[in-house]
Structure 1
């Protein structure tokens, strides 16, 4: 079949790779001049099934309330009367029960664990380099009460397939000696040896090149998707800024813009943009940096070691499609980095970035067929798009081919 993939982030690129590997004629339409220049350009770099907890939960409500009085918490809410935001917020609140939080976490964890296997399969098959490290991730805490609560939190996913170890400070420094200079700020944490790290932009860029060279995938860059031509419940063509392109099927992977496009074509797709900030800094002294990825759970700051670079990430800001940033937005993450890895970085050399995560109210992506027989979704991955990208792409290729997916599809397929 001739399949159009709308969006060349890491999710869309992975989908294109798997579909082309199945023998389809695939063209990717991207508004940027190259793959992975939107949401996938810069993130925490974590491939982290350990971060599969659904955002919508009873605890999330408490965090949002606290954020009103504590702007340094890492969650920022810009109130809005926008009907789309209000609708999304109402749906999010409906997911904030304990039962729904556990159910959504189960789906995310299932896909995240599968996707980690898929990323590593692609790495082994293709040799693509993306500064990956398979050393695990540490989720650490600054006081005993937080550690005790975190251990209880992680126990849930530990009972469902993710290997986790609760560690005291001594054991933490054994698995992550890079934190040895952090003083007595850390009491312990959770070590997830199955988690890993890597550069999503580097991965998507090189996978796109491989898809072109090995499977004949075409990329239409600097091209805006404008609409669909539909006849008899099927998509006949995709309208773009460079004309209409006929197709046998199409896949929507437009990140935070997916919800906007969905509303335009009559599909209920509650994707809302949630802003995050990252800083990428060369390590002044690699010996003083981390050896693996980590999350400062009490500061809401995540980081990855990408070659001889340190990637810092933080904040969940509800500000619509605003992608602007200012120096003060990065102060908290730099403060944490200096505390944890003194002498490792010079923040004046940082590449600063802000981007949008495509969040669904239940934190679960939508993957599969829509109301149009040949129009598919692969979007809404939120803050773990890099983690879930390859598993989503392979899952989608199975759905398109009519094969039984490797994992249980329950909870992933779009509602009719």
Structure 2
């Protein structure tokens, strides 16, 4: 079958890999100049089934309300007249109750664990190198109350068969000596030993090169502008470079997916949520962390990716505006210095921001939708690096009409 994949980020390239393995003739189209130039470019680098909680949590509405007055909060909303945000937000709020939060989180954890196994199989098959670091991730909590709340979620992790351990501040330092300066400021931590970290951009670029060697075609610098539909099927997509015909089409454009789907009269419950990162060079005289993790109090993630230390934070609902204000860069630099005083060269920050394609439930959209030959692999939110390999395999199973290896229930479209 001839299949056209729209998008060359993590979701698109992993889909291309899974579909090519099934023997399909695959073409990937992207508006950028190379793979993984947008949301997959400089994310946190965390592969974190042990932290795969839905953002639609009981405390989220209050946190968003507080952000109207405290712009230093990581989870925040920028007030603006936006019907798309109102529609999305109403559904998000309905999922902030305890029962749907637990259900969505468990679904996401199980998907994340499956995806991690698929990712490991892809690496074994292709040999792609991406600064992978095992040994688990560390989730820090500043107060006894926050730690107790985290411990209460361990029942969900156990149900998802994810191993997790509670650490004292002293145990945190033994596991990650680079956090020694932080030990007096935390109540404890959760360590998930099967979690990992790695450079999502390097992985995507490397996998794209492997796919190209297997016959997958990549068309860069092409912006998709519309569809040609005949009856119940799409016959072609139109770009600024011409037309591409195929038997099936996979929509994997991240936050741009609902904009293109709208031209088919198809509503996708995806809204862009901006995230920020700052990367710092590591030199021989520095003592960076080995293990990655998250400071839960500030929702700041860190990871060492080769000779780079990266910190990420912020989840801002501000539409498609994708610019990191200087004050956000300064905030991340200050947090990096506080966490790891000798971790990297903090005088040379490299700032980036990207738009996470979030669904209200926090679960990606995978499967057929709208026209009979349109398939979705999008809406991965903040968990794209953690879940993309799994949703790509699920997509390939569904498209082939075979039993899926991992049963997954995506959110409804309406």
* TM-score tier after normalising by the smaller chain length: over 0.9
- Contact between 2:227 and 2:263, CA under 8 Å: does it hold in 1? no
C-alpha distance after superposition, 1:209-246 (max 9, x if no partner): 00010x20000000011111111201111111111111
Which whole-Å CA distance do the structure 2 matches of 1:308 and 1:151 have between them? 33
Partner of 1:208: 208
Partner of 1:384: 383
Aligned counterparts, 1:130-149, within 5 A = 130-149=130-149
Aligned counterparts, 1:9-48, within 5 A = 9-48=9-48
- Contact between 2:269 and 2:413, CA under 8 Å: does it hold in 1? no
Which whole-Å CA distance do the structure 1 matches of 2:383 and 2:162 have between them? 16
Partner of 1:332: 331
Cα deviation for residue 286 of structure 1 reads: 6.6
- Contact between 1:3 and 1:25, CA under 8 Å: does it hold in 2? yes
Matched residue of 1:256: which SS? Answer: helix
Which whole-Å CA distance do the structure 2 matches of 1:376 and 1:181 have between them? 49
Cα deviation for residue 270 of structure 1 reads: 1.4
Q: Does 1:91 align with 2:75?
A: no
- Contact between 1:142 and 1:187, CA under 8 Å: does it hold in 2? yes
TM-score, L = length of structure 2: 0.97
- Contact between 1:56 and 1:92, CA under 8 Å: does it hold in 2? yes
C-alpha distance after superposition, 1:186-210 (max 9, x if no partner): 2210000111001111000010000
Matched residue of 2:237: which SS? Answer: strand
Cα deviation for residue 285 of structure 1 reads: 4.8
TM-score, L = length of structure 1: 0.96
Cα deviation for residue 183 of structure 1 reads: 4.6
Which whole-Å CA distance do the structure 1 matches of 2:175 and 2:223 have between them? 46
Q: Does 1:407 align with 2:406?
A: yes
Cα deviation for residue 63 of structure 1 reads: 1.6
Which has the larger displacement, 98-107 or 66-75? 66-75
Cα deviation for residue 348 of structure 1 reads: 2.5
Matched residue of 1:349: which SS? Answer: coil
Partner of 2:361: 362
Partner of 1:291: 290
Cα deviation for residue 19 of structure 1 reads: 0.2
Partner of 1:246: 245
Partner of 1:82: 82
Partner of 2:372: 373
Which has the larger displacement, 288-297 or 153-162? 153-162
- Contact between 2:142 and 2:188, CA under 8 Å: does it hold in 1? yes
Aligned counterparts, 1:43-82, within 5 A = 43-82=43-82
- Contact between 1:255 and 1:358, CA under 8 Å: does it hold in 2? yes
| Structure 2 unaligned residues grouped into runs of 5+ | none
Partner of 1:393: 392
Which whole-Å CA distance do the structure 2 matches of 1:47 and 1:221 have between them? 27
Which whole-Å CA distance do the structure 2 matches of 1:408 and 1:20 have between them? 22
Matched residue of 1:377: which SS? Answer: strand
- Contact between 1:271 and 1:380, CA under 8 Å: does it hold in 2? yes
C-alpha distance after superposition, 1:285-311 (max 9, x if no partner): 575211111100001100111112111
- Contact between 1:285 and 1:345, CA under 8 Å: does it hold in 2? no
Which whole-Å CA distance do the structure 2 matches of 1:65 and 1:157 have between them? 29
C-alpha distance after superposition, 1:311-336 (max 9, x if no partner): 11000011111111232112232222
Which whole-Å CA distance do the structure 1 matches of 2:183 and 2:97 have between them? 38
Matched residue of 1:76: which SS? Answer: strand
Cα deviation for residue 185 of structure 1 reads: 1.4
Partner of 1:190: 190
| Structure 1 unaligned residues grouped into runs of 5+ | none
- Contact between 2:42 and 2:201, CA under 8 Å: does it hold in 1? yes
Which whole-Å CA distance do the structure 2 matches of 1:308 and 1:31 have between them? 29
Cα deviation for residue 272 of structure 1 reads: 0.6
Which has the larger displacement, 158-167 or 67-76? 67-76
Which whole-Å CA distance do the structure 1 matches of 2:128 and 2:258 have between them? 31
Cα deviation for residue 413 of structure 1 reads: 6.7
Partner of 1:349: 348
Which whole-Å CA distance do the structure 1 matches of 2:93 and 2:333 have between them? 32
May I ask how many residue pairs the two structures share in their alignment?
A: 414
Which whole-Å CA distance do the structure 2 matches of 1:327 and 1:68 have between them? 19
- Contact between 1:285 and 1:344, CA under 8 Å: does it hold in 2? no
Q: Does 1:278 align with 2:277?
A: yes
- Contact between 1:369 and 1:413, CA under 8 Å: does it hold in 2? no
